[in-house]
Amino acid sequence: MREEKEMEYTRALLVGLDRGTEPDFDHSMEELKSLAQAAGRQVAGVIVQHMEAVNKAFYIGTGKVAQVREYARECQAAEVIFDNTLSPSQVRNLGKELELPVLDRTNLILDIFAIRARTREAKLQVETARLQYFLPRLVGMRENLSRQGATGGIGAGGAQSSRGAGETKLELDRRRIEQRISELKRELESVSQARETMRKKRSRSGIPQVALVGYTNAGKSTILNRMVDLYGEGREKTVLEKDMLFATLDTSVRCISDKDGEGANRPFFLADTVGFIEKLPHSLVKAFRSTLEEVRDADLLVQVVDVSDEFYRQHMEVTGQTLQELGAGDIPQIIVYNKADKCNMQELPKVGHMQLHMAAGQGCGLQELKDMIEKCVYAGRVNVELLLPYDRGDIASYFMDKATILEQEYRDDGVWMRVNCDRSDGDKYARYQKNRG
């Protein structure tokens, strides 16, 4: 928490390059402001250049670099943040000319993730991504440092090698970072295996798996918490819910089930996942891939959209592109237009085909969403009762693996089970079906 307090006083100058190819450039710059504030920066000013091509050396034009330098002094900015990912050479060249720390959009998002990370897994993932981002940018950062022991060790006739003494600081830093990345990957592998074990256990239960996905700050955590309050495991199972970018970095999975009513005995796992954003760094997607496996393995995705945001359609496009990158683009989806109350929409909730307008923060539309999810994930599934002879343990194992076991008893004449399974499985083993008596 001390880090967040210190960063609060950092004044930053934002710089954008409008090449005329980005239809929502102004929105991108507004989002950069929000990201800067989420990272504890105070926006001291904004400069935008309109230029068709990127300057390979400085990203912006050389004349604009001088303007940025002067304006940074006037507004007393302590650092300069650019709207897109910069190459290592651009960061190096801009740092020399501006004489201030230079960050790009990727670095800023990584800073936010570092602040927000709470669990061991999230911290490992963020540190890995940051080091992978930093590694290629070492070039030039140490070029002004003299070599350590450049004159060598013992003379040519000596038996001792001078390689260690002559190694540059850059090479030492690179070696340390690469070693640390390897250590982090080993730790992450161990954590990922534990998560995979839990995921396989949920899969073997036969209970459908549903994942909340969408742009950051669309209301995914709010939906999960309200579902847990109404149909879940208790208040202690809720997750952090806050009106900010990337409030949640960890994937949380909760079991949602009615104790009675139409939804009784139709449980499903609901996962809250890290939000997406435009120009989400690939290093982060890669580092969080194990966490996002919950998305790829889901039976159904619920894309949560902040419909009160004027750029919500662009947010949906970004979400779709990210899902494709994760290999989850073909999973069935329900589209939830959340925060519809802020649009003065009447008669909420509004239910459509695989679509729902709702206001999760007001508790509006939760029952309709749950019903819609159940209808999707339990389509083609039936409840059947089976009496399996003790010598047909293979069938019992099959249903334990592929179906949801609702009840089970060991009787004199076999194992009685009431299961929720695919209709085809119920038909296949119809001869073992038996009413409880």
Tokens of 305: 């959209």
The H or E element that residue 372 is part of is helix 366-377
Grade residue 302 by pLDDT with cuts at 50, 70 and 90.
very high
Query: Which range has the worst mean pLDDT, 45-59, 152-166, 293-307, 395-409?
Result: 152-166
First-residue to last-residue Cα distance in the chain: 61
Integer Cα distance of 353 and 260 in angstroms: 26
Q: Is the pLDDT of residue 2 over 50?
A: no
Grade residue 379 by pLDDT with cuts at 50, 70 and 90.
confident
The answer to whether 110 touches 38, Cβ cutoff 8 Å, is no
| Cβ-count burial 269-305 (b if 16+ within 10 Å, e if not) | bbbbbbbbbbbbbebbbebbbbbbbbbebbbbbbbbb
pLDDT of residue 264: 58
The average pLDDT across 212-238 equals 83
- Contact residues for 111 (Cβ-Cβ < 8 A; gap 6+): 7, 39, 103
Grade residue 374 by pLDDT with cuts at 50, 70 and 90.
very high
Higher pLDDT, 121 or 261: 121
Q: Provide the H-helix boundaries in 17-162.
A: 25-38, 62-74, 88-98, 105-116, 120-134
Longest distance between any two alpha carbons in the chain, whole Å: 96
Alpha carbon separation from 237 to 218, 228, 232 (Å, rounded): 20, 7, 8
Integer Cα distance of 54 and 155 in angstroms: 50
Integer Cα distance of 211 and 298 in angstroms: 6
Q: Is the pLDDT of residue 160 over 60?
A: no
pLDDT of residue 290: 63
Q: Is the pLDDT of residue 394 over 90?
A: yes
Sign of the Cα pseudo-torsion (246, 212, 288, 325, in order): negative
Mean pLDDT of the chain: 83
Q: Do β-strands 381-388 and 414-422 pair in parallel, antiparallel, or remain unpaired?
A: antiparallel
Higher pLDDT, 367 or 236: 367
Q: For residue 181, how many other CB atoms are within 10 A of its CB? A: 16
Assessment of whether the complete model's pTM goes beyond 0.85? no
Integer Cα distance of 318 and 9 in angstroms: 32
Tokens of 115: 């602040």
Written as one letter, the residue type at 18 is: D
> Residue 225 — left, alpha, or beta (φ > 0 → left; ψ -120 to 50 → alpha)?
alpha
